[in-house]
Structures are given as C-alpha cells and as structure tokens.
Chains A and B, each alone.
Chain A
Amino acid sequence: MKINSPLEAYKFLPATNCGECGEATCMAFAAHLIDRSHKLTDCKPILEEKFKKKYEELDALLAPEIREVEIGVGDKIAKIGGDDVLYRHKLTFFNQTQFAYDVTDSMDEKDLVERVNYIQDFKKFYVGNFLTVDMIAVRCTSKDPAKFAAAVKKVIETTDLPIILCSFDPAVLKAGLEASKGRNPLLYAANKDNWKEVGELALEYDVPVTLFAPDDLDMLKTLAKTFAAMGTEKLVLDPGTYPTGKQLKKTFTNFIKVRRAGIDGDREIAYPIMAVPFTAWMAHDDPVSASYWETVVASVFTIKYGDIMILHSTEPYAMLPELHIRDTIYTDPRKPVTVDPGMYKVGEPTADSPVLVTTNFALTYYTVESDIASNKIDCFLWAIDTDGIGVEAAVAGGQLTAEKIKKGIEESGFDLKKDTTHNTVVIPGLAARLQGDVEDATGANVMVGPADSGRIPGWMEKNWPPQKK
C-alpha cells in the first residue's frame, strides 16, 4: 500500500458522508481502507462514472505491495499473497499460507482417491471453527502426459480443492491443463530451460504459474520480469527449498530477501512465495524423521513468508502442528480475542459450589475453564467484560473493577444470597487488591484465589468450603 494515513485516502473519497458503506463518515471509511478492514468497492458512490479517475488512482494506491494470486474456482478458491508488512504486529498478515499435499500419477487409482479424500476431509476443531488443509499437488513421476492427465482427472473428480500441476515437461503440463479445464490450477513450474513453453501455456490457458529458480534470485527475478512482459502477473515464486544444512540456511535467507524486496517496493519481485518442505523426504529415509523435519521446515516458512507450500506427510502429528502454527501467525493481532461476557457453568454446580470470577479475554477464560474442568471441579464461572484484556492488565488499566464484577453477576440474573448457600465470590489472585471494593459493592464475602488458575485445585482443597463466620 502506497499510503498510510486515512487523510491521504480521504482526499479521493466523495466526502458526502452518505453512510452507504456502513460507516458514519468518509473519514471513518478512509481509516478502514488503511487498515484494510473495508474494500474500496464498499463505497458505492465512488464507483460512479464521474469518480472514475479518483477511483482508479486510489485503487492503485491501496493495492497491497505483494500481488494477490488466485488458485482454483468456486467456494474453494484460494487467494495467496496480498501482504503489506514484514511483521504481523504492524498490521496483520493476509491470506494464510495454503497447504498442498502431494499425490503422484504413478499411484494406483484406489490409493490416489483414498489419499485425496483423507486430505480433503482432514479437520481439527479450534476456537469455534474447523482448521482444514487446502490443496492437492499432482506430481508427474511417470513422465507420461497421458498418465498425468488421467491422474489429474481422477483428482478433480474426487475433490473441489484447488490443484497444482507439477512437472517441468511442457507436454505433461499441457495434458494436465486439458484435463483440468475450468479449474484454474496452479502450474508448477517454469524454470530457466522450459520458460518459453510453460509461459505460453500459462497465457493460453490463463492460469497462474510458479517460477522455479533454485538458489538463484537473479534468475528468479529475470523470470518474473520476463513473464510480466509476456503478459501475466499471476505468478508464484519458488526460490527453492533445500532441506538441510547450509543450503537450508541459504533458503531461509532467500525467503527473507525476496519478501523484504517486495515489501520495500520492488514490483518486479513482489509476488507470493512458494516453499516446498516436501524436499525433507529427499534428506531422510525414515518416515518419522522425514515427517518431523518436513513439519519443522514447514513451520519455519509458514512464519517467514511462505504463501503456499507443497507437503508430503499426512500424519496427524505433522498436520496438526502445521495447522496450528499457521493459525498462530495469521490470526489478526489487532483483534483481542474475547468470549461473551456472562455466567458459565463448569461441570454441574449446585448452591454449595464456588463462584469464580475471571475476564472475558478468551485465552484467560479458556485456560481457567480447562484448569477447572480437567480437575472435575463444579463451579459457576463469570467472564467479566474487560474488553478482552487479561486479569493483571485489566486491574491495572481499570477494565476489571468492583463495579464491573457486581454488574456482571447481577446482569446474568444470579443472586448470590439466594442462589448460593455461601454468598461468596472468589476473585483471581492477580486482582487481590479489589477484595475490599468487591465486598463493599456486592455485600458478599470475597475470597482471593491463586494467581494462576493452575493452582485452583490446591487452593480449593485448602479453602473450600469457606469457614462460616
């Protein structure tokens, strides 16, 4: 993005404050353009003919530094690239790394279908959603265009996931393209030897194409420049993923360099990057070691700028950490993750069960909840609305106060005197200083729990039920 203040974007907007975009003012809308939470097309008036020039100018200014490339079609279409920053806290990373798992055209049909189904069905529940993987990479190991076409055909019959066609032989790629017409596959790959033919295929079939120049950034940039001149910017860059030793260190350096140059404004190389952790299997014979090392390499390049990658291991102990490290890096750091404030029952609480208070910061809440639940303690647990801030910071910052605790308990229709036998609230150890205030505000007994919810079981043993006064 070439501009970084709402004022600069505002200059191009109609300035009518019409509110059609959902924001009260054009200035507010401009701020959302800068943090990329609105698209320019959300502004209907600017799409009118009279604003055409301003629209085009602003659109160009707002374009992300790294080009966005689409692979596949329909619901499962995948977007890669589109980043504007080198560190996630500076904004957020967009378009999470796409994970493609390989099949080959030498597999027998039953194994191929089974593997594709396993890949497309793999899922892991996490914070209200399922984490899933994204693509199938079809490798030509037979060297036979007809065999390759048959494998591609089988894959697209089996899944709607986007596919990557992998061969350095243009004849094989052409056969694959014919077999997957209308599916917008990613071609892998053009290199210094086949670029002319592969480039023509990419143009003819209008599909994205990967440029492969192992450990040669001059060649990589040369290919990218040439393809742009040929007429396509739907490019993905593969600087080569070497699996071990000094070669892997060099690979790491290459990824950093390519992305830094792109973010710094070198348009010739500002494309999404592909990593191929698959190559770990060329360095390890034992499948557990290979899976482990592949996961390690995949993690490095999920964190450092890989936008798409080709993987082999479909062991859960490889896929689960891969999915989670991707979620870690691509979670938008600007949004504090919260749970709905209110009362939660853990286990089967009765009137004798304790009433515990925590914050609605999701991480805090889920930690406390799982610490209690896994120790089979029945209780009422309140998530007090602290704007998603943790206990310690919320006490210091005034988001967790006696009034907030009182309000939180009352609003859920709970009456400490009637609904419990003990009229007692347990506050977090890190909120100990609120004890007196909470007693005054609620009229209840207030006990101070441990600073770490991991210690609740020990604390309960010693302190619950409370001594009658």
Chain B
Amino acid sequence: MTKKMKLSQLSDMLQDLNVESLEGVTIEGDIELNITGGGGLNPALAYAIGSEISQISLHMANIGRILGFPAEQLFASAFGMAEAPQAGQLPTSPKIQELLASKFEVAKVDNWKNPIQEVTLGATSGDGGSRKSTVTIGGENALPYYFDAEMPHRNYVTMDVFDMPIGMAKAVKGNYEDVINDPAEWAKKVVRDFNADMVTIHLISTDPLINDTPAKEAAKVVEDVLQAVDVPIVIGGSGNPEKDPEVLEKAAEVAEGERVLLASASLNLDYERIAKAAMDYGHNVLSWTQLEINAQKELNRKLMKQCNVPRERIVMDPTTAALGYGLDYAYTNMERIRLAGLMGDDELTFPMSSGTTNAWGAREAWMVSSPLNQDSDWGPREYRGPIWEIVTGLALSLAGNDMFMMMHPTSVQVLKEITQTLYGSIESEEIDITNWIGAEV
C-alpha cells in the first residue's frame, strides 16, 4: 500500500518537471530507494527526487505521529539537532527481506550393523506341517519403521484362545460368549471374524490350582485347534513351573512338524525339557524373562549353548506391563534389548513377542468408573478398554516388538492399522493439511 502511494506521488512530481521517463530509478520495498543510471545522474533530477523523497518522508512521519510514534525526535536525532532519547529504543536487528535458504541433512545411524534373527512360525505341507501359510518375524536392521533400513516384515497379531472359560473384562467377553466352551470354535472365530494372523491356545486348565487337567488331555485341545484353523499357532501352558514342562512336551508331540511357538521357557522352570521338546518335534521356543535384560541374556545363552536350540528357533518375551502399570519398564527394557542386538550383542538379536493382553489388567481398562471420586469422569469403559490394549501394544511396537498376543477385536484392528501404516503398507487418500486450522471439526 505504501509503495503504491510513493510511486504515484513520485511520478506526479516528475511530470511537473517535464521528465519524460524514469529509467534507472526504481523504488523497492517500503523505504528503500535504488538509483542506478548509465553516465551519472542529472543534478536537477537528483535534486528533484531528493526533494520529493523528503516530502514523502515528512508525509510518512506525519502518519507515524498520528499512530503515536514520536517522529520529530527521530528526525532531530538523525540530523544531529537534538539528543536522541536512549530509553525506549529498540535494538536494531537486521531487516531480513528474503528467506535464508538452508538444506536439511541428517545421517543414518552407523552402528546398527547386526541384523535381528529371522524366525519363521508355522510349517506348510511342503515343510512337514499342515499350515496354509507361515509367518516370519525379525530380520530388522534398524529400529522399527526407521528410515535407516527397510523393515523386512510387518508386525503380526496372535489372538488368545483358552481351553476353559476364564474371567474376562466385560468388553472382551461380549465377543466370545458363543465360543467360550469350545477352543476350536473360538480359534476359528478369531481367524475368520477378527483377522488374527495366528492363534495362541493357552492350556490354563492344566494348572494344579485350577483343574489340573492331565497333559495328555490338554494335548487333545491342541489337536482340535490345529484342525480348526490353518494359521500358525502358539501353545501356552498355565504358567505353573512344575506342570508346564510336561504339558508343553505333550502338546509339542501332538503338534509335531507344525513349527509352533512353545510358550514359554523361563529361568524358574525346567527350560531344558521345553527346549528339548521343541527340538524333538520341530518347534520354536519363547524365551520369557521378567523385565530384566541380563536375565534375558542368560536364558537365551542357556537355550543356545546348553540346550542347542538354533538361533532361528528363538523368540523373546521380555514381559509386557500394562499402560500405567510398569509400561515404562517394559518399553525401555525392549528398546534396550533391540538397540543392544542391533549394535552387536548376539545374545539379544531375536525377534520379540508381547503379551499385550496384560493391558486388560489395568483397572482403567475394565472398571465401570474411577474408584476415586476426585477423578474426572472416566467415560464409557467399552471404549476405554480397547484403547488401553492398543496404546500398550503400540508403545512396544515402537520399542521393537514384532508379535502381539491380543484379546479384543477392535484393539487388533486398530493396532494392525497403525503398525502397518508405520511399516508403509497402508494406502489411503492423501489429505491436504496446509490449512488445517480452518477445518470444520
């Protein structure tokens, strides 16, 4: 606006002086005057321009005074007619008219040299099993989804099936009421309706403190599940350290050749028996420790050195604590394990599995409302529960976890969506966010 006014005034003035053209004189910016010319400037013209510029600046100064700026002081100080007031003067920072171009660069991480071991779960008929397809996890050369190296495999979800009805959060239970007494139908349902990549059959009824189901009987359930679905499976015991070796031995036997994941070998039970069962019948071993990186190293070492389990048959479960209940330990434990593996610790270069279902242990996931009356309203639990499971899993996916054991269909769907988005396999319509502020929401 100011620029326009000055130009028109200047040309008016030049008209009066009968100057026909104004070549070599340009006015730029708001106050900058740039005078160039071939062989010097006509003194009369220079005087005239000088006069007009002074007129303009007086005019501008008047506007300044109307706006409250003490312009006369500025003139006085500029021409040495008075002392400039010291106070109130702004520091002079250079007026920048153009962007100062800068190029963004960042290096790739140079000490991630050790790839994570690839482990294949399940075996097809060509490999002595009866699965229709297999799942391969691991193989990373960088933290998950990082640009430093391509991530070779996406994350996978194995959904929980139990060999007896168990207590579940209401939001979970509603999905399984029709199959709760039939593990085979349950397994079918999670694959068919809930898009499970794999199924975990937990033989919890074998616990002497629960039903003390004999190992042989429990193994029948494994056979049923293998019949019912054609995805790779995980077989879990009850967590009873005395009974589990026997239960997993029998289960391994009936699943011979299927390359299942036996869950779990741990330091507080006879891991040798479990490792041997895996070797004898062609399965993988889940190496489970409790939030302790050194214990994880120790167990992996024992499985490899003492039990001769090949590297491509070991998956780690370093323990999942729920959001709000120790997820900070679980997250950092996994992140440290993955970084140590990438940087060369061969006792930790294994893919990881998370018991993400543990998120349902958090009261925020299942309670109707907060037990504390000072809390703000917790809102409906049917929405709170699944997101608790999602965020727990998502955090661990960013720490390097490969496979998720999960329970709620919505959680599975959303976790798959976000992990596969970060992995790069989800296409979606492009969205223009340049004017997001004005979005009608």
**A interface residues (Cβ-Cβ under 8 A, vs B):** 87-89, 102, 121-126, 130, 139-141, 143, 166-168, 188, 191-192, 195-196, 199, 203, 214, 217-218, 220-226, 229-231, 240-249, 252-253, 256-258, 260-261, 264, 266, 268-269, 276, 278-279, 281-283, 288, 291-293, 295-296, 299-300, 303-304, 312, 315-318, 320-321, 324-325, 327-329, 331, 333, 363, 366-367, 370, 390, 392-393, 430, 450-452, 455, 458-459, 462
Q: Which residues of B contact A324 (CB under 8 A)?
A: 323-324, 327, 364, 391
B268 at the interface (CB under 8 A from A): yes
User: For window 324-345 of chain B, which residues contact chain A by CB distance below 8 Å?
Assistant: 324-329, 331-332, 335-336, 339
Q: List 26 A-B contacts (CB under 8 A).
A: A88-B332, A89-B335, A168-B435, A188-B437, A192-B99, A214-B433, A222-B100, A229-B94, A230-B96, A246-B428, A249-B423, A253-B146, A253-B147, A261-B106, A266-B105, A282-B439, A295-B387, A295-B391, A300-B422, A312-B441, A316-B384, A325-B395, A328-B323, A328-B395, A329-B331, A462-B209
Q: Is B62 an interface residue (CB 8 A)?
A: no
* B424 vs chain A, min Cβ distance (A): 5
Contact B375 A123 (CB under 8 A): yes
Are the CB atoms of A257 and B106 closer together than 8 Å? yes
**CB of B148 to closest CB in A, whole Å:** 9
Interface size on B (CB < 8 Å)?
Answer: 80
Bound: A219/B294 CA distance, A: 45
Complex contact B391–A122 (CB within 8 A): no
Tell me if B440 counts as interface (CB < 8 A to partner A). Answer: yes
Residue with the highest number of chain A CB atoms closer than 10 Å, among B104, B210, B292: B104
Query: Which residues of chain A come closer than 8 Å to B375, judged between CB atoms?
Result: 123-125
Q: How far is the CA of A327 from the CA of B325 in the complex (A)?
A: 11
A279 touches B147 (CB 8 A): no
A260→B421 contact, CB < 8 A:
no
Contact A220 B104 (CB under 8 A): yes
B104-120 CB mask vs A (1 if < 8 Å, else 0) is: 11110000000000000
For the complex, what is the distance from the CA of A52 to the CA of B384, rounded to whole Å? Answer: 55
Instruction: Find the residue from B145, B374, B431 having the highest chain A CB count within 10 A.
Output: B431
Residues of chain B with a CB closer than 8 A to A256's CB: 146-147
Q: Are A257 and B104 closer than 8 Å at their CB atoms?
A: yes
In contact, B99 and A223 (Cβ under 8 angstroms): yes
Is the Cβ of B209 less than 8 Å from the Cβ of A240?
A: no
Is the C-beta of B10 less than 8 angstroms from some C-beta in chain A? no
Which chain B residue has the least Cβ–Cβ distance from A325? Answer: B391
Cα(A256)–Cα(B329), bound, Å: 22
State whether the Cβ of B418 lies closer than 8 Å to any Cβ in chain A: yes
Minimum CB–CB distance for B265 against chain A, Å: 15
Q: How far is the CA of A368 from the CA of B277 in the complex (A)?
A: 34
Residues A230 and B332 in contact, CB atoms below 8 Å apart: no
Determine how close the nearest CB of chain A comes to the CB of B171; give it in whole angstroms: 11
B321 lies within 8 A of A260 (CB) = no
A167 to chain B: closest residue by CB: B437
Q: List 13 additional contacts besides A300-B398, A328-B324; criterion CB under 8 Å.
A: A121-B376, A126-B324, A167-B437, A168-B435, A196-B96, A231-B93, A246-B424, A268-B102, A282-B441, A283-B431, A291-B383, A300-B422, A459-B209
Within 8 Å CB of A303, what residues of B?
331, 395, 398
The 9 closest A-B pairs by CB, nearest first: A245-B428, A316-B379, A217-B104, A231-B93, A317-B383, A244-B428, A261-B106, A458-B209, A281-B441
Nearest to B267 among chain A residues (CB) is: A392
B409 contacts A by Cβ under 8 Å: no
B417-436 near A? 1/0 per residue, CB < 8 Å:
01001111011111101111
Cβ–Cβ contact B421 & A264, under 8 A: no
Instruction: Let me know if B421 and A249 touch, CB within 8 A.
Output: yes
Q: How far, in whole Å, are A328 and B370 apart by their CA atoms in the complex? A: 20
Known: A317-B384, A452-B239, A455-B209. A304 touches B398 (CB 8 A): yes
B91, B331, B378, B433: the one contacting A282 at CB < 8 Å is B433
Is B437 in contact with A166, judged by CB distance below 8 angstroms? Answer: yes
Tell whether B388 is near chain A: CB-to-CB under 8 Å: yes
In the bound complex, CA of A130 to CA of B124 (Å): 53
> Which chain B positions have C-beta within 8 A of A281?
439, 441
- Bound-state CA distance A125–B375 (Å) is 6
CA distance A175 to B260 in the complex (A): 65
Task: Say which residue of A320, A328, A367, A459 sits within 8 Å of B384 (CB atoms).
Answer: A320
Tell me, in angstroms, the Cα distance from A363 to B319 when the chains sit together. Answer: 14
Q: Check A245–B414 contact: CB distance below 8 A.
A: no
Q: Given A257-B106, A281-B441, do A243 and B431 touch, yes or no (CB 8 Å)?
A: yes
Q: Which residues of A contact B325 (CB under 8 A)?
A: 363, 366-367
**Do B378 and A320 touch (CB < 8 A)?**
yes
Complexed CA–CA distance, A370 and B94 (Å): 63
Inter-chain CA distance A324–B395, complex, in Å, is 11
Closest residue on chain B to residue A216 by CB atoms: B104
Taking a contact as CB atoms under 8 Å apart, the answer to whether B374 and A125 are in contact is: yes
CB pair A331 B328 closer than 8 Å: yes
CA distance in complex: A393, B293 (Å): 11
What's the nearest-Cβ distance from chain A to residue B333, in Å?
9
A288 x B424 contact (CB < 8 A)? no
The answer on a CB contact under 8 Å between A328 and B331 is yes
Given contacts A257-B147, A264-B106, A363-B329, whether A321 and B387 have CB atoms under 8 Å apart is yes
Interface check B175, CB cutoff 8 A? no
Collect the chain B residues with CB atoms within 8 Å of residue A269's CB: 104
In the bound complex, do residue B437 and residue A315 qualify as a contact, i.e. CB atoms below 8 Å apart? no
B134 located at the interface, meaning its Cβ lies under 8 Å from any Cβ of chain A in the complex: no
- Binary flags per residue of B374-397, CB closer than 8 Å to A gives 1, else 0: 111111100110011011001100
A230 and B426 alpha carbons, distance in the complex (Å): 42
Instruction: Check A300 against B418 for contact (C-beta < 8 Å).
Output: yes
B22 interface contact, C-beta 8 A: no
Chain B residues in 8 Å Cβ range of A392: 268, 290, 292, 295
Decide yes or no whether B4 CB sits under 8 A from chain A.
no
Kindly state whether residue B1 has any CB partner on chain A within 8 Å: no
Q: What CA separation (Å) do A249 and B323 show in the bound complex?
A: 24
Determine the distance from Cα of A226 to Cα of B436 in the docked complex, in whole angstroms: 24
